[in-house]
């Protein structure tokens, strides 16, 4: 299949590569030259612009930083990309953005005879490289089925969350909960350690009890518990504090629109914001435990 891939950074790059390796014709584009060079080095064609990339494409996959980029790309100011995409083509937007933006773009796409699904991912750069991402999809059954063969080349789990925008909502609900879990798990371990408990022993007890959660399972914030977790690597790599801050912000933004109440989500966002202001924005988000530990 002829695929255009826009946004080939740390996440989009390996995703585009997995489609290419699966035998698809991929034409990619990114405003960042280094990103383009990295992917070109693996054999993928690089277009001179997004407009160029989508010429004749049957499917367009996008992986962009934020709502304004997706809206700007597709809708522009009277000269968005939708006008240049072939009727009948399928757009898969894997960016994590506001559900309202997904819905706005989808509506315009539909009017132009173009299929659209939102398909944000979880699984990080490791999952992007390994092709084991989780996709949370919003859109019609029919559109999802068209997208499935491509999604399966990039990911291991494909969830259908509901109609357009539902993928985004599921993603931010999950990530808000993840942000809360990580802070809560950090508080519990720090409290135990302040009482003289061994963080490994306490973590194992809670993992197998009613406090059990993903962080205790795979991503312990305390150094020395999970050997492959960022905590054992000085909180390098992983999922950055500033990315978690963005997702918690999307959750708060959504809560405002729907008048929802998210007390812990709000506090978690403020803590990550403070952690970022203190200079730790690029460290893995599990480093938030340092806010709760005595500094030498």
Catalytic residues: 171
Q: Single out the residue of 31, 26, 83 nearest to residue 60, CA to CA.
A: 26
Letter string b/e over residues 218-253, b meaning 16 or more CB atoms within 10 A of that residue's CB: ebbbbbebbeebbbeeebeebbbbbbbbbbbbbbbe
Question: Segment 40-79, which members bind its own copies (CB under 8 A)?
Answer: none
In whole angstroms, the minimum distance from the beta carbon of 202 to its own copies comes to: 6
In whole angstroms, the minimum distance from the beta carbon of 53 to its own copies comes to: 29
Q: Which is nearer to its own copies, 81 or 251 (CB)?
A: 251
237 near its own copies, judged by CB under 8 A:
no
The C-alpha angle 96, 99, 102, rounded to 5 degrees, equals: 80
From CA 150, how far away is CA 147, in angstroms rounded? 6
From CA 173, how far away is CA 247, in angstroms rounded? 9
Of the candidate spans 17-25, 44-52, 112-120, 250-258, the one that interacts with its own copies by CB under 8 A turns out to be: 250-258
From CA 281, how far away is CA 296, in angstroms rounded? 21
176 near its own copies, judged by CB under 8 A:
yes
Q: Which is nearer to its own copies, 49 or 258 (CB)?
A: 258
Question: Segment 255-294, which members bind its own copies (CB under 8 A)?
Answer: 255-256, 258-271, 273-274, 276-279, 291-294
Choice from 197, 223, 232, 237 touching its own copies (CB under 8 A): 197
From CA 64, how far away is CA 55, in angstroms rounded? 19
Question: Segment 120-139, which members bind its own copies (CB under 8 A)?
Answer: 122, 134, 136
Residue 102 C-alpha from the chain's centroid: 14
Choice from 23, 142, 195, 227 touching its own copies (CB under 8 A): 195
Q: Which is nearer to its own copies, 65 or 211 (CB)?
A: 211
Number of residues that bind its own copies (CB under 8 A): 84
101 near its own copies, judged by CB under 8 A:
no
Contacts of 224 (CB under 8 A, 6+ apart): 199, 200, 231, 232
Q: Which is nearer to its own copies, 89 or 189 (CB)?
A: 189
From CA 280, how far away is CA 126, in angstroms rounded? 21
217 near its own copies, judged by CB under 8 A:
yes
């Amino acid at each position: 299949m002829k695929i255009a891939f826009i946004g080939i950074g740390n996440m989009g790059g390996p995703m585009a590569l997995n489609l290419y390796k699966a035998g698809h014709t991929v034409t990619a584009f990114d405003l960042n030259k280094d990103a383009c060079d990295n992917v070109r080095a693996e054999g993928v064609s690089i277009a001179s612009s997004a407009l160029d990339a989508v010429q004749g494409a049957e499917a367009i996959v996008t992986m962009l930083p934020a709502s304004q980029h997706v809206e700007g790309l597709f809708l522009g100011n009277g000269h968005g990309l939708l006008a240049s995409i072939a009727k009948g083509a399928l757009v898969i937007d894997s960016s994590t953005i506001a559900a309202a933006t997904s819905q706005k773009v989808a509506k315009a796409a539909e009017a132009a005879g173009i299929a659209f699904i939102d398909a944000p991912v979880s699984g990080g750069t490791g999952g992007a490289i390994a092709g084991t991402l989780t996709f949370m999809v919003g859109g019609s059954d029919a559109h999802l089925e068209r997208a499935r063969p491509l999604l399966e080349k990039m990911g291991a789990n494909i969830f259908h969350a509901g109609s357009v925008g539902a993928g985004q909502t599921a993603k931010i609900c999950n990530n808000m909960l993840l942000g809360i879990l990580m802070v809560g798990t950090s508080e519990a371990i720090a409290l135990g350690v302040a009482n003289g408990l061994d963080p490994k022993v306490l973590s194992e007890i809670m993992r197998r009890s009613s406090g059990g959660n993903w962080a205790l399972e795979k991503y312990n914030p305390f150094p020395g518990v999970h050997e492959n977790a960022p905590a054992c690597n000085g909180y390098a790599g992983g999922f950055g504090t500033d990315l978690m801050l963005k997702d918690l912000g999307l959750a708060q933004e959504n809560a405002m629109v729907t008048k929802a109440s998210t007390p812990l989500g709000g506090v978690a966002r403020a803590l990550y914001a403070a952690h970022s202001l203190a200079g730790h924005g690029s460290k893995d988000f599990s480093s938030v435990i340092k806010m709760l530990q005595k500094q030498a």
